[in-house]
Amino acid sequence: MKDKIEPPALLREFAGFFTRAGFSVYMVGGAVRDYFRGQPAEDWDVATDAMPGQVIRLFRRVIPTGIAHGTVTVLFKGRKIECTTFRTETGYSDSRHPDHVQFGRVPVEDDLSRRDFTMNAIAVRLPDGAVVDPFGGREAIRSRRISAVGNPLDRFSEDGLRPLRCVRFAAQTGFTVDGETLAAIPPCLSATAAVSQERIRDELQKMLAAPRPSDAFRLMEQTGLLSLILPELAACRGVLQLGFHRDDVLDHLFLSCDLAAPGDPEVRLAALLHDTGKPFCREWNPEKGRFSFYRHEEKSAELAQSILTRLRFPRKTVEFVAHLVKNHMFRYTPDWSDAAVRRFLVRVGAENIPALFRLRAADFASTSAKTEEEARALVREQPETAGLARRISQEMQAHAVLSLKDLCVNGRDLQAEGIPAGPLMGKVMQSLFSAVLEDPRRNRKESLLEMAKTVYMRLSEK
């Protein structure tokens, strides 16, 4: 194996500021791992024996991103380089943060010994590119293996986020987690339970960006992480569906999530959660000879909202994903009336149609296809929604009335006819809107005002 590599020219120039001042500096972390994987590095991290204050004096533009943890971010010729002082750590009473940290001039090998996995415990000295690999990280990468540094029980007990990072790396890289490392996860679940929901959320988001998120979720299920973090999802295992489905609910959700595009995180979340209500709604239908899951989409939306709120997802994401889940069970047929298409548009929201169709395509392909290759082709073609998409396009081009603001009358017009502002006016406007949805030709001011007075009189009498 190479004992030296050629670091990027900009990093060599950056390192010169340290070496001229008498400090050592090493490229570490994901950039080194990605180099040995033959992948481009997006971010550069370095470790040094210089203290944060000394780094600040070396460069003109430095952000104190985490001085308490020995980390600053240097802005150097258009790049952000995260710089952390060498440290050793002892004691992890909260299973997340070390009780004691010693910064400064410790050997780089000691600094690497506190890292999680051997593939992440490689350093490259700057500027000459000498490789420091005390734990066999390069061999682990060559073997496509994820192994903890030292005793995996110690590593996972020190930081309860590491088991999630382990399964996330497996999904991102396609590497296999070695048996000893995987077996150490279940005894350390109590450490993971102490991790903040925000940090768990961040790991889940990275899993969802992997080529096949199910690789991570299956390892989570195998090790108990799924029951700990997403018990609502784990409850779907063994819930058979029969009928069109060949998989139980959990396998169906895993495949649906995989089939949604990696660059579509909210649709992937919706795909992962869209049938979580089925265990609560399953009933045997003797006439059809299979299970029914009446209104499971409503329960699934409720669970999606609860799960994502618990994991501290942004409110906008929570509401959007729950909305997609709640509306995923539409069954379009060519005999839908134009009014039915418009009602669907209003219920879903025109801006949400593309995402809902992508969710529906993943759901449909996961159910219908016999192979993953066939499923991915179905997702691309979206045959189930193609006809509805054309109908929606026609309605949009015809400038269909899709909201109250599209009506030819407004609240001021109704007030001019003697209808006072208040709850009754709101009901009158909704009646007008429903009428125009059924027949757009009714959207004329004179006829709507007449209709409004009739509706108001009827509601007033009640």
Q: What is the DSSP string of 210-238?
A: SS-HHHHHHHHHHHTHHHHH-HHHHTTTT
Q: Output the pTM of the full model.
A: 0.89
Number of CB atoms found within 10 A of residue 162's CB: 24
The mean pLDDT value for 202-214 works out to 97
What mean pLDDT is reported for the chain? Answer: 92
- Give the integer Cα–Cα distance in Å for 309 and 236: 20
Residue 315, token pair as written in the block: 């409110």
CA distance 348 to 368: 24
In order, the DSSP letters of 336-357 are --HHHHHHHHHHH-GGGHHHHH
> What would the pLDDT profile of 158-205 be if each residue is shown by its tens digit?
999 999 999 999 999 999 999 999 999 999 999 999 999 999 999 999
Query: 42 vs 32, 171, 435, 458, CA distance in Å?
Result: 11, 18, 55, 66
Query: Which of 57-71, 129-143, 235-249 tops mean pLDDT?
Result: 129-143
Q: Is the pLDDT of residue 67 over 90?
A: no
pLDDT per position as a tens digit, 53-65 = 999 999 999 999 8
Q: What is the predicted pLDDT for the residue at 96? A: 53
* 3-class DSSP state of 102: strand
Element of type H or E holding 129: none
Q: Mean per-residue pLDDT for 2-27?
A: 93
Q: Taking residues 113-140, what's their average pLDDT?
A: 95
For residues 10-25, average pLDDT: 95
